[in-house]
């Protein structure tokens, strides 16, 4: 078995490795994503990508945004950059809600749709958008929002 490499910026020199896994459900994605969050899950919003190959096996992950207690700005161009750089066939969007509320906001739905449409140009799919709280999660795919 090989390890999933965290995608890092050119300026960074260290990496963290996680075991590569096949994502077959929102539960798998949620469990994998919890590795990125620590005590900060209730402090501020962070937005991550789980990058997948055609077999839905994790090939990397990256933090693309960190904001405040009520939101974070996600640039679809940055998302597309990491998808292209890693030749990802699929991506799972992940962010947390420090408030603990799991329902996707209008902004969450809009950015998901925008990223989904943009990645079609690269034959890459948004497979899910997971919203985490300290104790639970919401899958936009499981709830018909993807």
For position 18, what pLDDT does the model report?
72
- In whole angstroms, how far apart are CA 43 and each of 23, 108, 139? 27, 18, 21
Tally of domains within the chain: 1
Q: What is the pLDDT of residue 17?
A: 64
Radius of gyration of the chain (CA): 14
Is 90 within the bounds of a domain? yes
pTM of the model as a whole? 0.88
Is 20 domain-assigned?
no
Model pLDDT for residues 26-56, shown as the tens digit of each residue: 999 999 999 989 889 999 999 999 999 999 9
| 5 found inside a domain | no
Closest-CA residue to 51 (of 132, 134, 142, 126)? 126
Pairing label, strands 58-66, 137-139: unpaired
129 assigned to some structural domain: yes
Residue 34: CATH number of its domain: 3.40.140.10
Judge contact between 29 and 83, C-beta under 8 A.
no
Predicted pLDDT of residue 108: 97
Residue 8's pLDDT is 40
Q: Is 83 exposed, middle or buried (0-12, 13-18, 19+ CB in 10 A)?
A: buried
10, 28, 57, 68, 127 from 24: Cα distances, Å = 31, 6, 9, 31, 10
Q: Which domain holds residue 74?
A: 26-139
Query: Is the Cβ–Cβ distance between 41 and 98 less than 8 Å?
Result: yes
The pLDDT value recorded for residue 43 is 94
């Amino acid at each position: 078995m090989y390890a999933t490499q965290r995608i890092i910026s050119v300026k960074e020199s260290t990496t963290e490795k996680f075991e590569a896994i096949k994502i077959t459900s929102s539960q798998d994605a949620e469990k994998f994503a919890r590795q990125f969050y620590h005590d900060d899950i209730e402090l501020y919003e962070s937005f991550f990508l789980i990058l997948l190959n055609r077999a839905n096996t994790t090939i990397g992950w990256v933090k693309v945004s960190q904001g405040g207690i009520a939101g974070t700005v996600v640039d679809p161009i940055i998302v597309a950059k990491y998808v292209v750089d890693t030749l990802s066939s699929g991506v799972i969007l992940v962010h947390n809600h420090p408030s603990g509320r799991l329902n996707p906001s209008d902004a969450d739905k809009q950015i998901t749709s925008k990223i989904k449409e943009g990645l079609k140009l690269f034959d890459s799919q948004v497979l899910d958008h997971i919203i985490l709280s300290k104790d639970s999660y919401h899958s936009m795919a499981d709830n018909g929002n993807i």
